[in-house]
Amino acid sequence: MIGLGSKENLYWISILLFVGTYAMIILEKFFHRVPAALLGGTLAIFLGVVTPEGAWEAIDHNTMFLLIGMMVIVSVLIESGFFSILSYVALKFTKGDPFKIILTFTMLTAVLSAFLDNVTTVLFMIPILISITSKLKLKPVPYIIATVLASNIGGTATLIGDPPNIIIGSLGGFTFMDFIVNIAPIVVITHIIGTIVFIGMMKYQGHLEVKMTDAEELKRIIEGQKIEYDVILMRKGLIVFGITIILFFLHHVLHLEAGTIALFMASVLMLWSRENPEKIFERVEWTTLMFFLGLFVVIGGLEHSGVFEDAAHMVAGVITDPISGILILGGLSAFISGIVDNIPFTMAMSYVLIDLGKTAAFNVEPLWWALALGACLGGNLTIIGASANVVAAGLAEREGYPIKFFDFVKQGTPVTVVTVIVALGLLWLKYIIFGV
């Protein structure tokens, strides 16, 4: 580890490291995002921005455990043939209609994401979606992006839907019902408008055109799917998956992180199923996990050097009333969460809001909801804006459908801008005009 002097030097080096890493991720034609993130992370340790111990602490172990655990459970369910059956059911239900496919998957994903972690929902939905679209000769990538955007919007609705909400609920003292009353109605309207925008974009880009014009051929595809399944393995997998979901709902009561629950239940399933662990781990997205590992350390450098704390206080410094606060905090939270991990920024901003609540001459509660909306919805801005985005990109790439950085931005940015404006506008109306 090389020491580079003053804290101020390390402050600017951490920013340069982040910008450099981000630039390499954007220039994916020349650099793969995984080694780019790992290089940035190891450079942060090498240059002394963070110590090895600090780098280890910067890794969000809850996210990593959650990813590994749910990937293992999903891997067993894939092996059992469960997703083949779901793919068949979905094909029959939608009858191969692209419009019905996009509408069904975005609505179902949004609802599931409100009550499950976004990553769990994406791990569950994306394999089915890729199977259906590829069979129908549709381009899977736009459908995958639409589903991911829906997961991030839906996850905004509840206390347990997205990690920033868990932080806000814990530090701000808000309950599950507080989120249902204050955020969920806004998210429902926002999701409907966001879906209209995305479907309109897909229609304009020609992604909703039916490729299977031969009715008989379409019928053969739907009816002729070869489904192989292991009933005993599927039963074990679904029992463990169901218990895992129940424990997710109870994790506050049990005082256990979702990641701990997922990893524990995955271990139980591997022992119970007696499947070959090497075979199961082959389906785990190790490249995605390594990407997160490097990115967490890079962002940990920003947090360790005080960049997030300064940004949070800068935002608080220009807030003079709830009206400006909702727009400023919500808008900046969305932008920042689109380019960096939203967890450390939400944490830093939450402590600032706690202090602001002690001294401000106005009610700061609307600012908490603005932070929740901005931090969660802003994740749709770029492919690295939310954990679900990165996981979906990894799953798609493994199946031969890589999602490019700018392809995601072109689809995600319009939806993000519209949904953030709508959500913050509705929050503004709720508190400023109706006073509730």
Half-sphere exposure of 380 (CA within 13 A, CB side): 31
Q: Which pTM was predicted?
A: 0.78
Q: Which residues contact 335 (CB under 8 A, 6 or more apart)?
A: 378, 381
Max Cα distance, the chain (Å) = 72
Q: How many other β-carbons are positioned within 10 Å of the β-carbon of residue 105?
A: 23
CB contact burial 138-152 (16+ within 10 A = b; e otherwise): bebbbbbbbbbbbbb
Q: What is the pLDDT along the chain (436 residues), one digit of tens a residue?
A: 555 556 778 888 888 988 898 888 888 667 788 898 899 999 999 988 888 898 898 887 887 888 888 889 888 988 888 877 877 787 778 877 888 889 988 998 898 888 777 887 888 888 888 888 888 888 899 999 999 999 999 989 987 778 788 778 877 888 778 888 899 999 999 999 999 999 999 888 887 877 665 566 666 666 666 677 789 999 999 999 889 888 877 877 888 887 888 899 999 999 999 888 888 888 787 887 888 888 889 888 888 888 877 877 777 777 777 788 888 889 988 998 888 767 767 777 787 788 777 776 678 888 999 999 999 999 899 888 888 888 888 889 888 899 988 889 999 999 999 999 999 999 988 887 766 5
**DSSP structure class, residue 284:** S
Which own/partner pairs from 125-130 qualify as long-range (CB within 8 Å, at least 24 positions apart)?
A: 125/151, 126/392, 126/395, 126/396, 127/74, 127/78, 127/83, 127/395, 128/83, 128/86, 128/87, 128/90, 129/101, 129/105, 130/395, 130/396, 130/399, 130/401
| pLDDT for the residue 255 | 83
Number of H helices, E strands in the chain: 23, 0
CB 391 within 8 A of CB 288: yes
> What is the token pair recorded at 385?
């804006």
